[in-house]
Amino acid sequence: MLLTMRAKLIFILCVAMLLTSCRNATGNIERTTDTVVDDYGRTVAVPHSPKRVVSTSPAITEIIFALGGEKLLVGRTEFCTYPPEAEKITNIGGISNLNVENIVALNPDIVISGSMIPQKSIDQLHNMGIATVCVIEKQRFDGLYENISRIGALIGLESQADSLNQCLHAEAEKYSQSDASQPKPSVYYVVGFGSMGNFTAGGQSFINDIIEMAGCENVAKDIEGWNYSIETLMERDPEYILIRREDSASFCNTYPYKRLSAVREGRVVGINSGMIDLQVPRNFDAIRYIRSRIHKD
């Protein structure tokens, strides 16, 4: 009987201590988990204030740094190389061949995943009891603000996300007001070229929105998807070619692209691919850079 009473007392004390530890300064019980619906429609229980975060996307890693949450990151993929400080974080491997074992070894509170991660890897992490939330790149530019807010909420940095979005919205508004009466040079962005086909960003893409915010007109704005015919490119002969810096020389020396007037007259603008191919705050660096090269403002 004494043993039973002692066991009950111990149980009551443990419950009391647990409730006390979960109370904040106002006496309210703090949430320890939240329930979120991710971009794939999955309902996931996540810790309210995670301390150990793994990112499987370069864009997610970059946004976490922009929010000042880099100390929470304990793992990132080999493609998460911006900012340079990201390379100091433990490398968990590739994206299409994600190393689940490496992630598990880091004992993360949450894994925030992008669109390139295979579904089987997501399911495997989920089955191991690891909270995994998918935040994917959105089709249009405004999706950047949404992703910043989503990631900020997931890692407990909501106010920082709000502040960052306010700054970005203000800059976007500045560009929209300044270009009303300005001529818009035609631009073609090279995503892929050569024997494998020609690919660019159509009008329903955030890259198209970046080009327009830079005060230019995307010659491929009338297409859906990414395929573009070489005949149409040569016929439209855009005033400027925008291309990843590392591909510029090869493009300019390849037939028939070298016949384009932009190539012949030195109007090929090489750009850091991370600024325009990822949906990140650096998109505004891309806008400023394109404007400086094309509008000289």
Residue with the bigger pLDDT between 244 and 118: it is 244
Tell me the percentage of the chain whose pLDDT exceeds 90. 74
Domain boundary among 164, 189, 216: 164
Domain boundary among 137, 164, 191: 164
CATH of the domain at 134: 3.40.50.1980
Exposed / middle / buried, residue 26 (Cβ in 10 Å: 0-12, 13-18, 19+): exposed
Lowest mean pLDDT among 96-105, 130-139, 157-166, 223-232: 96-105
Domain extent, residue 32, equals: 27-164
> Does residue 135 belong to any structural domain of this protein?
yes
Tell whether 188 and 158 lie within a shared domain.
no
Domain boundary among 164, 197, 222: 164
Lowest mean pLDDT among 113-122, 224-233, 237-246: 113-122
Tell whether 153 and 228 lie within a shared domain.
no
> Does residue 172 belong to any structural domain of this protein?
no
> Does residue 22 belong to any structural domain of this protein?
no
> Does residue 94 belong to any structural domain of this protein?
yes
Residue 135: pLDDT over 60? yes
Q: What total number of domains does the chain contain? A: 2
Helices (H) and strands (E) in the chain, counts: 12, 10
Tell whether 96 and 137 lie within a shared domain.
yes
- Residue-averaged pLDDT of the chain: 89
Looking at this protein, which amino acid is placed at residue 13? L
Lowest mean pLDDT among 65-79, 138-152, 153-167, 181-195: 181-195
